């Protein structure tokens, strides 16, 4: 299929182009980016693989004299709040080249690309941006474009020095199994905002444990690979400079090669928290890894249950302050609809964070 690149804004020497899909030039640009700023700084090492699974992406590239200096990838899907469904456009990738940083250009052009996306929507829509709490510059850019904070997503680390395989773990790889899981999750997250399960069942990587034939725990896994260049604060410096040399601990977190599983669509029947840990540990063991990350809204009852039960492992000490702010702008929505996004717990898809 021929990719059509469309000029949508021009202010010489800068131009903004729009196109469906993400070409190799944009992937190469994203591969060169170090994410984060004042807090953790890291590189995604499996961007090309992740991009293949992104649904309905639109690329807006900012070019200076024909050279890409900034990129915004927006994804379009539907999200639910209770029994209501809304059109959603969210920022999956947003970054600039070091060539233009410090010139104040991304604040201007960042606002411009978000305005262009909003103007292109004619129906009732929520626009979303996810910004790490330590990334003050990106937060200002998104806020400058008319977005406001509607909630915080917490990062949870789950790790085991010696994860154990478990024969009770079942892979969901049939239509009937997927429908059963979706039915459970729709009830489990009915009180949440931004609910969407588009990233579930990728590579048939949803797994469950049954008791007496009933699913009692389940989750989707995604494989992730980062290189961490820096971590903020005194604690971050200690982690970067000391942890790589500590036996066992360095198997949980190696900044130069941090491979982990990202869990989402987590289901846990009340009272089966220990079984959920068995599932997490078994999945780590089967992939020969020791660390995993989960993202959940800080007011979610499932987040509160997970951290209250505890026993998450050593890695959680490194990441439990790695908050992500969810910012939103709204179009054609009334105040009641807007409040439903702010007052309900946020459902977070791990796929959007790796």
Same domain as 314, residue 170: yes
Omega within 30 of 0 (cis) for the link into 60: no
Task: Tell me the C-alpha distance between 234 and 238, whole Å.
Answer: 6
Which range is least confidently modeled, 13-17, 52-56, 196-200?
Answer: 52-56
Strands 148-159 and 291-297: antiparallel
Same domain as 170, residue 299: yes
Residue 229: per-residue pLDDT: 79
Same domain as 180, residue 131: no
Give 145-162 pLDDT, tens digit per residue: 999 999 999 999 999 999
Task: Let me know if residue 12 belongs to a domain.
Answer: yes
How far are the Cα atoms of 35, 48, 53, 94, 328 from residue 31, in angstroms, in the given order?
A: 10, 8, 16, 13, 27
Same domain as 299, residue 193: yes
> 223 - beta bridge partners?
261
| Overall average pLDDT of the 329-337 stretch | 96
Tokens of 254: 């190696």
The CATH code of the domain that includes 68 is 3.40.630.30
Q: Read out DSSP for 174-207? A: SHHHHHHHHHHHHHHTTT-BSB--TTTTGGG-EE
Residue of 85, 96, 148, 149 lying closest to 324 (CA atoms): 149
Same domain as 215, residue 339: no
Count of beta carbons in the 10 Å neighbourhood of residue 298: 15
Same domain as 308, residue 220: yes
Asked if 166 contacts 284 with a C-beta cutoff of 8 angstroms, the reply is no
Same domain as 178, residue 132: no
Task: Tell me the C-alpha distance between 227 and 35, whole Å.
Answer: 10
Q: Read out DSSP for 111-168? A: HHHHHHHHHH--S-EEEEEEEETT-HHHHHHHHHTT-EEEEEEEEEEEE-SS----TT
Question: Which percentage of the chain shows pLDDT scores above 90?
Answer: 69
Q: Which domain holds residue 279?
A: 156-319
Q: What is the pTM assigned to this prediction?
A: 0.92
pLDDT-based confidence at 233, cuts 50/70/90? low
Asked if 47 contacts 54 with a C-beta cutoff of 8 angstroms, the reply is no
How far are the Cα atoms of 23, 164, 223, 352 from residue 287, in angstroms, in the given order?
A: 31, 11, 9, 21
Task: Let me know if residue 236 belongs to a domain.
Answer: yes
Asked if 151 contacts 344 with a C-beta cutoff of 8 angstroms, the reply is no
Give 158-185 pLDDT, tens digit per residue: 999 999 999 999 999 999 999 999 999 9
- Sign of the four-CA dihedral 295, 297, 301, 303: positive
Task: Tell me the C-alpha distance between 190 and 183, whole Å.
Answer: 11
Same domain as 123, residue 12: yes
Number of domains in the chain: 2
């Amino acid at each position: 299929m021929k990719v059509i690149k469309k000029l949508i804004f021009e202010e010489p020497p800068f131009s903004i182009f729009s196109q469906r899909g993400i070409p190799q030039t944009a992937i190469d640009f994203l591969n060169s980016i170090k994410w984060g700023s004042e807090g953790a700084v890291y590189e995604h090492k499996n961007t090309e693989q992740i991009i293949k699974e992104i649904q309905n992406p639109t690329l807006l590239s900012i070019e200076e004299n024909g050279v890409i200096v900034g990129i915004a990838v927006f994804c379009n899907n539907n999200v639910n709040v209770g029994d209501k469904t809304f059109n959603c456009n969210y920022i999956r990738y947003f970054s600039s080249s070091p060539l233009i940083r410090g010139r104040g250009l991304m604040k201007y052009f960042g606002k411009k690309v978000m305005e262009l996306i909003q103007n292109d929507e004619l129906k009732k829509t929520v626009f979303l941006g996810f910004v790490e709490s330590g990334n003050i510059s990106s937060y200002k850019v998104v806020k400058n474009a008319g977005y406001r904070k509607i909630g915080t997503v917490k990062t949870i680390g789950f790790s085991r020095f010696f994860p154990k395989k478990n024969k009770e773990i079942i892979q969901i790889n049939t239509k009937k199994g997927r429908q059963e899981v979706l039915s459970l999750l729709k009830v489990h997250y009915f009180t949440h905002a931004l609910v969407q399960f588009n990233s579930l069942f990728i590579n048939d990587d949803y797994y469950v444990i049954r008791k007496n034939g009933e699913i009692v725990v389940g989750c989707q896994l995604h494989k992730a690979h980062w290189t961490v260049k820096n971590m903020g604060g005194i604690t971050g410096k200690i982690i970067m400079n000391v942890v790589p040399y500590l036996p066992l601990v360095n198997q949980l977190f190696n900044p130069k090669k941090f491979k982990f599983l990202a869990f989402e669509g987590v289901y846990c029947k009340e009272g089966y928290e220990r079984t959920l840990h068995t599932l997490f540990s078994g999945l780590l063991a089967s992939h020969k890894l020791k660390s995993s990350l989960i993202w959940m809204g800080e007011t979610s009852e499932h987040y509160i249950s997970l951290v209250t039960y505890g026993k998450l492992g050593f890695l959680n000490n490194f990441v439990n302050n790695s908050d992500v702010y969810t910012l939103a702008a709204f179009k054609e929505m009334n105040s009641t609809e807007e409040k439903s996004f702010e007052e309900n717990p946020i459902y977070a898809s791990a796929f959007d964070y790796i």
